[in-house]
Amino acid sequence: MPGASELERLQLVPGHHLVPSSEGWLLYPPDGHAFRLNVDGEVMKNVADVLDGKGTAGEIPTAARDVLERFVARGFAEVAAQSSQPALELRVCVVGSGPIAEALHTLLETTGLPEPSRAGAGELPAQSVTTDLVVTCAGWLPDAHWQRVHAWCREQEVAWHGCHAEGDHFYLGPYWSPNDPATPSYRDVRDRRLAADPHPDGLEAYWRYVDRGEGVPPVPWPDAGRVAVIAGALASDLLAVARGERPPSHGHQLALDPATGTWRRHPVLPVPRGLMTECLP
């Protein structure tokens, strides 16, 4: 249970609300099913003051302390961290052109991350610039280039993320890290798509057609709002990585339908390369 000094630093767990009403205090949790607290109103006022940072340990009555301890035990309240947020040191290279690349680069400049470097469409990050994570922002899927990026990131032990257009959807990820065997690479996604397609030769022909760029229609870029959504989702993943956390899209490829703003999450597993090699003649 929290000590006296920790009581002053208690806060509601994010997503919870204490709501005063004409019939007493309510606790409104993230699932939206509020319930009434059978606690004296004055005691609950003391509890609410502490959780708002207005109370001190010496002013907390025993009854209020008991309620706060029960809140902690039930997962409604927690001790706020005192340490300041460490500087985010992830060095990102944004590869590609187009509105999503531009929006992501602009957004990353506001996050506290180091200034992101840039490389053009079809290019690899400059060897003279230290890079921790590459983000490839493409229009139509540039298969040949992304295979080169895949090889470069593996050789340099650099993480990789990205997005591209296909049909009338935009796809994000999956995020890959050389330090996390649970993350699938572009090669994994490519191999799984070929294995699942009833006409893999046609899929490879489509990729070659896009790579050549002859007769390829323009990318149907979404409006600025949807572009910001895609760039924001990428930035959210990168910030999680910078904090040492799993990115929200971990283990998935996300598909955005710009017409409806709907996201779909497709789980993607790495291909067990060692097992495949053993099975080959």
Whether the pLDDT of residue 116 is over 70: the answer is yes
What topology is assigned to 92-279 in CATH? Rossmann fold (3.40.50)
Q: What is the mean pLDDT of the chain?
A: 89
Cα–Cα separations (whole angstroms), residue 155 to 88, 92, 138, 149? 24, 17, 22, 10
Q: Which CATH class is domain 4-79?
A: alpha beta
Q: Count CB-CB contacts under 10 A for residue 220.
A: 12
* Residue-wise pLDDT tens digits, 6-47: 666 788 899 999 889 888 899 899 988 888 888 888 888 888
What would the pLDDT profile of 189-203 be if each residue is shown by its tens digit?
999 999 999 999 999
Same CATH topology for 4-79 and 92-279?
no
pTM of the model: 0.80
pLDDT digits (tens, 9 = 90+) for 46-85: 888 888 877 665 667 888 888 888 989 999 988 877 655 5
CA distance 254 to 250: 10
Residue 182: its pLDDT value, please?
92
The amino acid sitting at 229 is V
Domain boundaries, the chain: 4-79, 92-279
Helix (H, G, I), strand (E, B) or coil at 127: coil
pLDDT beyond 90 at 163:
yes
Q: Say yes or no to pLDDT of 276 above 50.
A: no
